[in-house]
Structure 1
Amino acid sequence: MHHETSGGVRFAYDAPTLRFGGGSVASLGAELAAAGCERALVVCGSTVGATDAVMEPVRAGLGDRLAGEFPRTTPDKRLSTAYDGVAAMRRHDADALVAVGGGSSIDVAKVMSVLRADDRAPDRVGAELAETGTVSIPDGELTPIFAVPTTLAGADISQVAGITAHPSSSLVTAFVAGGVWDERLMPTTVVGDAELVATTPESVLVGSAMNGFDKGLETLYASTRTPVTDGTASRGLRLLAEHLPRLGQEGATPDVLEPVVEGTTLVQYGISRPSETTLSVVHAFGHGLTRGYEVQQGVAHAVVVPHVLRYLFEHVDGRRDLLADALGVGDAADPADAVVESVTAVRDSLGLPTRLCEVDGPEPDGFPSVAEAVLADSFMRNKPPGLDPTQAEIEAVLEAAY
């Protein structure tokens, strides 16, 4: 296999401690103790915060290290919510954040950790976000984050967080969406407990599963791929391709979810690194389709991924042989076709929408502006070597998905 030889591959990665297995949330207190943390603020959304099947094991796991709870995050990941969270950190004198739930709770906890260390006035932070799309992060220690994901989107083993601000908060004058990134935002520990994931409604899990699955696909063909992530993503994809269909057939039981949580963790390993990420074309499409539309990220992924893969394989190799091997169809006569068929079969087994016209996304007259957003997305930088997408080609993929 040909590899670009400009000084070879550099893989610099500081992974969180990873805890797996049903009941592993019981280890939270021990993980806090190992990190020297004494007072944890639990950060979650209102639904998770009101779900005893999740919160009781979290509270029990933290024991006397539980300082308080902040059940106020929303999928918007608002800057104003993060500021409310910082006030709760001060009130409870928290020296650790335990983020429980989906990607939005984990992201808000990361932003809270940044804002807690920043002594600027909130409106100045809002102005910087509006102007630059990010918030600068002070030097020094940030409040450590312990992540307990209850979905399968794979947002936890990451040093990046999304953030929005709305004029209603008086922090900005117009809506702004951006993000923060820093190696200090990588969680200290991630607990993948299938018993907690099993409490999440299946309709939420199947969309998030597609998002996580696509991280594995992209990691194999992204220009930022490495031999290490080839190994972890391949193994993760094999587990997901084998066990996600069981989620559709048998439902969200801890037994079904254990290998799925393992696979989701593996496909994330090493993809969010200090200077780069392996998220690529599919994720750029996901962003373009969800900005300004009601369609959920995982559902957007489900609809476009077969069409994006087909487009990639028409233009570049896209490491189709490695993908086919990972998905268990390595002996197929046409590996590109086999990959598209496998991915489509996983999606269909989860009962997810298959066409753009079935979801709350853009209509065809909106495709040109969506295509512009896809092309401008930062993840497009990681496109497979040799691919040079045009506006017309991106629009054609959207039309095929419609």
Structure 2
Amino acid sequence: MTDSLADPFRFEYDPATVSYGPDSASQLASEVAALGCESALVVTGSTVGETPAVMDPVRAGLGDRLAGVFAGTTPQKRLGTAYEALSLYREADAECIIAVGGGSSLDVATVLSVLVATDRDAAAVGAELVERGTLSVPESGLPPVVTVPTTLAGADLSQVAGVTADPSTCPVDEPASGAVDDPALMPAAACYDPVLVATTPRRVLAGSAMNGFDKGVETLYARNRTPISDATATRGLGLLADGMETLGAGDADGSTYQRLTRGVLLVQYGISRPDGTTLSLIHALGHGLTRTYGVQQGTAHAIVAPHALSYLFEAVDGRRDLLAEALGVEAGADPATAVVDRVADVAGSLGLPTRLRDVDGPGRDEFPAVAEAVLEDAFMANAPPELAPTREDIVGVLEAAW
């Protein structure tokens, strides 16, 4: 995959207003006012909702514009959870949504915004998710969403949100999973406060960091990459790699969290666009390993990323030189080997598992089924155009990760 200054590209992107800085959560009331809203409902999970080091700054930053707090999101990203939040949103007479926490809370907040704007009942919405794996996004009436991430997964500048449904929590006939995807779902604002990120337990932060890190890696070899996303991902990867190794060594201080927060901001800038996302092979493998197994997404990324890159570089160029530059590989080293080793070292520095056999994932006899799910994942469409993976290829990656 070579580059030429003559290569054409089109970059259509309408991102959130981004604010960054220690204690930037203190300006949340100003962000809400700038959106023309009087009141906001905070959407978060129970752990973050019970963490004063996060919620006190958020409450203080919103002041009189805080309409209420819904602290009920879960990693399952249930449609039923979004409906519970909808009841509180209406009861509190809120006008916008503040999503605080990790990817799950941000996704539930996005689905909540769709429910606020829809005129369909819950049964009809659930039936659509079961049938189509997605939800229709109304053309108008979506309330603004402001994201306040406390992890490094990189879900805060996205027009895509995952969603699941279960008959025990929502009026659906059978379990369902899918995603909503629409340019209108891009948050109106995103507040990156490294002080809040620093409150997240190291174990949680380490896993989320691998997810965000791999967003930068994949953006550089995606078929719809652009020079703009190249620039942001390259800079972001350098910041993340440095910060992640310091975090893993137990030497993190304020500047470490500033590097990590800036890094995750940059690697995801421009990767979720109307023409599609830049996520591909590694994220598709992550989905295949986590959708039906008890493997955390960041852990899955830590395990498979080096092996996925080894396979990639055997098949295509994969922009190995640019990846080597972004990751600070020494000049003269074989770029493919050096990139794989560097990614493995970054993952290993966080103390995350490095073998599939050591986590609650699929057995080797299940690898063909996982491989089929990976190949059917929508993200595979974003892989380098020269890459033509087969089921046997993906099984080979999984075997190498075993």
Same fold, TM-score > 0.5, yes or no: yes
Could you tell me how far 1:169 is from its partner in structure 2?
2.5
| In 2, Cα distance between equivalents of 1:4 and 1:239 | 26
Moved more, 245-254 or 285-294: 245-254
What residue ranges of structure 2 are gaps of 5+ in the alignment? none
Which residue of structure 2 aligns with residue 144 of structure 1? 144
SS of the residue aligned with 1:250? Answer: coil
**Cross-structure match for 2:359:** 359
Counterpart of 2:188, as a letter, is T
Aligned-partner residue type, residue 91 of structure 1: E
Aligned twin of 1:349: 349
Distance in 1 (alpha carbons) for counterparts of 2:98 and 2:196 = 14
Indicate the SS of the match to 1:168.
coil
C-alpha displacement at 1:254, in angstroms?
3.1
* Shift, 1:21, TM fit: 1.6
Question: What pairs with 1:3-402 in structure 2 (closer than 5 Å)?
Answer: 8-329=8-329, 331-402=331-402
Please tell me the residue identity of whatever aligns with 1:70. Answer: F
* CA deviations over 1:100-140 (Å, ceiling 9, x no partner): 00000000000000011111110011001100001111111
Aligned equivalents of 1:366 and 1:67: distance in 2?
48
Aligned-pair distance for 1:224?
A: 1.0
TM-score, normalisation: structure 2 = 0.98
Hey, what's the Cα distance between the residues in 1 that align with 2:216 and 2:54?
A: 27
Comparing 336-345 with 250-259, greater Cα deviation is found at 250-259
Determine the C-alpha separation between the residues in 2 that align with 1:148 and 1:2: 36
TM-score for the superposition, normalised by structure 1 = 0.98
Deviates more, 1:100-109 or 1:138-147: 138-147
SS at structure 1 position matched to 2:168? helix
Structure 1 residues 106 and 328, CA gap change in structure 2 (3 angstroms): same
Residue 292 and residue 241 in structure 1: after superposition, are their counterparts in 2 closer, same or farther (change >3 A)?
same
Q: What letter is aligned with 1:147?
A: T
Contact 1:250 1:256 in 2 (8 A): no
Structure 2 residue identity aligned to 1:20: Y
How big is the shift at 1:251? 5.0
Report SS of the residue matched to 1:169: coil
Superposed displacement of residue 332, structure 1:
3.3
- Whether contact under 8 Å (1:303, 1:401) holds in the other structure is yes
C-alpha offsets along residues 25-75 of structure 1, whole Å, 9 cap, x if unaligned? Answer: 111111111111111000000111111110000000001100111001111
The AA in structure 2 aligned to 1:318 is G
Q: Aligned partners of 2:333 and 2:50: how far apart in 1?
A: 51
SS in 1 for 2:190: strand
Structure 1: runs of 5+ lacking an equivalent: none
Structure 2 SS opposite 1:266: helix
Cα root mean square deviation, aligned? 1.2
Which amino acid counterpart does residue 378 of structure 1 have in structure 2? A
Deviation digits for residues 86-110 of structure 1 (CA, Å, limit 9, x no counterpart): 1111000110100000000000000
Amino-acid identity (%): 60
Contact 2:79-2:170 within 8 A present in 1 as well: no
Amino acid of the structure 2 residue aligned with 1:239: L
SS of match in other structure, 2:161: strand
Helix, strand or coil at the partner of 1:172: coil
The one-letter amino acid paired with 2:311 is: Y
- Report the CA distance shift for 1:4/1:84 in structure 2 as closer, same or farther (over 3 A): farther
Structure 1's consecutive aligned runs of 4 or more residues displaced over 4 angstroms after TM superposition are 3-6
